[in-house]
Structure 1
Amino acid sequence: MRPAVDFESAQDLPALYKLLDEVQVKNGWAKAKPAIVPEPRHPFVGHRWRYADTRAALHVAGRLVGTEWAERRNLIMANPHPGNDYATVPTIVGAYQMVKAGETARSHRHTPNAMRVVLDAAPGTYTVVEGMKVPMEPGDVLLTPNWCWHGHANESDSDAYWIDFLDAPLAIGIGPVFFQHYPDVNEPSDGIDATSPMRFAFADYAAKAAAAPEVAPGVRQHLLGPVTLTTFDRVAIAMAAGTHWEPVRSSINQIYTVVQGAGRSRIGGKEFDWQRGDMIAAPCWLEQQHDASEDAILLRVSDEPLMRMLGWVVVGQP
């Protein structure tokens, strides 16, 4: 066998690098950006998105974006680092969605797992999962495991707003992204299941979080289960007014939704206030500090189940 280029002609390293480029090969001894590093290095930053902004934008989108041509009327919380237009943290994307009064969002299914955190919705608002209507009420958390048919129906007289979380950035990075429309646009529903295992009612999990043991002074946590998604979890965090909390630094990617209350956070050196409905990105290995100015409930979504399955959970100092 003969090589495709004359490597023996290279008299110095620049000449060798040029020849390697001709056969689409990169050297492993002088990489411009090392791949294996002493600790996590990524471009994702801590950030907070205001519900006041996204709700106002979605209200206008309600006039301009119709469900007959838009699969979902939503806004993507793309982490503000150069070149990114999708992921909120490396493995998870968060998006605000609105379904207008009397409107339905067509049914579809996909390989990424999904979850909803309801912000504002009147009675008569549902997510339809595998043919069953599941009520959506403020503060509720609803799961849509991968490849389940799902759509949304707002039979109330008020527009409904919620946050979607999907592990789509992970699926895109690995490759197996599949998507299908439901053949008849909207999947028929056979009834209403308020006690669906896919639904965690706010009143229920808020009470359990308030009664949970303290993990830090004034801070209590409750894992919403037992139904799980393979790649990300959900934990209700109750913080008493005046509480200061510094979670240990870890290799876990996290996103917080403010379900109730107000406060201020510092993540990776960036500080911002937060209030009900806001979303906060806390990418892996960035230091975190949280202060509650009012009694607060945060809903933390993280890729901890995935990281534990892979044996990649590492913790550092607060």
Structure 2
Amino acid sequence: MLNTSAAIQKLSSAKNLDGVYSVLDEVGMGPGWNKPEPSLWPAPRKTFVPAHWSYKVARAALDAAGPLISTELAERRNLILPNPVPGNTYATARTLVAAYQMVRPHETARSHRHTPNALRLVVDADPATYTIVQGKKIPMLPGDVLLTPNWLWHGHSNDSDSNAYWIDFLDAPLVQLLEPMFLEQFPEGIEKADDIDDTSPMRFPFVETRERLDRQAPSADGTHEIELGKPALDTIGLFVRRLSKGRTAPIHTTANNIYAVIDGEGVSTIDGTRYEWARGDVFVAPGWREHTHETSGTAHLLRVTDAPVMERFRWLR
């Protein structure tokens, strides 16, 4: 790199812009008027793409890997759902990641804490399956949503005789981008917990969610949607939508939305592409990708969104 005196001397003798550009390159500067592409644009770019993942396939993969990957070998026995854009190996949407996880019978997943916020939707689990948050066992039953806000100790314990499966969601891609990432292991492996907290504020039981939806009048397009928390986490909003027979109105927003199917089956059309889904499946509608949902019966979708971030910074449209 040129020193200051040499750079000034070469700039003063430059005869044309190419000479100026040559010096700027040597001193690590770039001409804002001559960028290869603009820094600002009139509408959101659609970088991440719509995608869909099958729970049936994920469950088969976890069953195959289960005997081979113990919780001692892996921080979590999970399957990441990376958005299929070139170069991406982790994020499901720009700010969020989803993953399928399994804990085998009478197995524990060690406790840790981290700066990303996290939550999980239970797909299949027998009673006596728990997530342990801050020393309390919180039951995990199908359809339940459980929270682990940033920097709280959490681990998992399956005291039942069957495999337990759920879907994790984290704002880790956002934390990676901003870089305040910290992870700490619990010194003793997993927190010891005897108390079972059925009414923990970290848990949204599906039975209560259904009761709330039953009490709510449908919207104009025949759907019901309720929020879990206001918001449940600082960076993540959680909504459960009940779909009835028919098609919803189009959804077009700058917020990223990851959907997980609690029950039922249907089709979502995202930016013109149709995705058929069933219980336990995951699909993503990245920001500014218009989408609709359609069912022939009743279905429930969990919507995990970064809308609280967009709203906080006045970017939500």
Q: TM-score range by the shorter chain?
A: over 0.9
Aligned counterpart in structure 2 of residue 76 of structure 1, from 64, 68, 80 = 80
Deviations along 1:107-143, one digit per CA (max 9) or x if unpaired, are 0000000000000001110000000000000000000
Aligned pairs for 1:10-21 (under 5 A) are 10-21=14-25
Partner in structure 2 of residue 158 of structure 1:
162
Unaligned runs of 5+ in 2: none
**Preserved CA contact (<8 Å) 2:230 2:237:** no
SS state at 2:252 partner: coil
**Which is worse superposed, 139-148 or 38-47?**
38-47
State whether residues 221 and 249 of structure 2, in contact with CA within 8 Å, keep that contact through their aligned partners in structure 1: no
The letter of the residue matching 1:277 is G
> Structure 1: how far apart are the matches of 2:13 and 2:259?
57
Q: CA deviation at 1:9?
A: 4.7
1:16 Cα offset (Å): 3.3
| Conserved? CA contact 1:108–1:149, under 8 Å | yes
% identity of equivalent residues: 49
Task: Say which of 196, 200, 205 aligns to 2:200.
Answer: 196
Matched, 1:290 2:293: yes
What are the residue-to-residue correspondences of 1:161-180 with 2, within 5 Å? Answer: 161-180=165-184
Residues 177-186 or 34-43, more deviating: 34-43
2:281 corresponds to: 278
- Distance in 1 (alpha carbons) for counterparts of 2:230 and 2:151: 19
In the aligned structure 2, how far is the partner of 1:239 from the partner of 1:300?
Answer: 12
Question: What are the Cα deviations for residues 187-238 of structure 1, in whole angstroms up to 9, with x where unaligned?
Answer: 1114100111110001110221233232332211111125721001110100
Tell me if structure 1 keeps the 8 A contact 2:231–2:237: no
Helix, strand or coil: the match of 1:64? coil
Query: Where do 1:181-260 residues align within 5 Å?
Result: 181-225=185-229, 228-241=232-245, 243-260=246-263
Pick the aligned partner of 1:114 from 82, 98, 118. 118
Q: Which structure would you say has the larger Rg?
A: 2
Structure 1 unpaired stretches of 5+? none
Answer whether contact 2:252 2:289 (CA < 8 A) is retained.
yes
Residue 108 of structure 2, aligned match among 104, 111, 116: 104
Q: How many residues align?
A: 313
CA distance in 2, matches of 1:289, 1:15: 54
Corresponding residue SS for 2:304: strand
Aligned-partner Cα distance in 2 for 1:61–1:13 = 59
Q: What SS does the corresponding residue of 2:32 show, helix, strand or coil?
A: coil
Shift of 1:21: 2.4
d(CA) in 2 for partners of 1:24 and 1:269? Answer: 43
Describe the superposition over 1:37-90 as per-residue Cα deviations: whole angstroms up to 9, x where unpaired: 101114101111111111111111102211112000111110000110111111
Q: Do the aligned partners of 1:92 and 1:170 also contact (CA within 8 Å) in 2?
A: yes
| C-alpha distance in 2 between matches for 1:168 and 1:3 | 44
d(CA) in 2 for partners of 1:158 and 1:270?
A: 37
SS at match of 1:183: coil
Question: Aligned-pair distance for 1:27?
Answer: 2.0
| C-alpha RMSD of the superposition | 1.5
Q: Distance in 1 between matches of 2:72 and 2:31?
A: 50
Name the CA distance, whole Å, in 1 between partners of 2:177 and 2:56: 31
The answer to whether 1:129 aligns with 2:133 is: yes
Task: Tell me which amino acid in the other structure corresponds to 2:96.
Answer: I
TM-score, normalised to structure 2's length? 0.95
Q: Distance in 2 between matches of 1:227 and 1:126?
A: 23
Alignment correspondent of 1:49? 53
Q: Aligned to 1:138, which of 138, 142, 145?
A: 142
Equivalent position of 2:316 in the other structure: 313
Matched, 1:263 2:281: no
Deviation of 1:15 after TM superposition, in Å, equals 4.2
The one-letter code sitting in structure 2 at the alignment partner of 1:156 is: S
CA distance in 2, matches of 1:16, 1:283: 41
| Per-residue CA distance 1:81-104 (angstroms, 9 max, x = gap) | 011011111111011101111110
Equivalent-residue separation in structure 2 for 1:209 and 1:17 (angstroms):
62
Q: Which moved more, 1:99-108 or 1:59-68?
A: 59-68
Contact 2:238 2:305 in 1 (8 A): yes
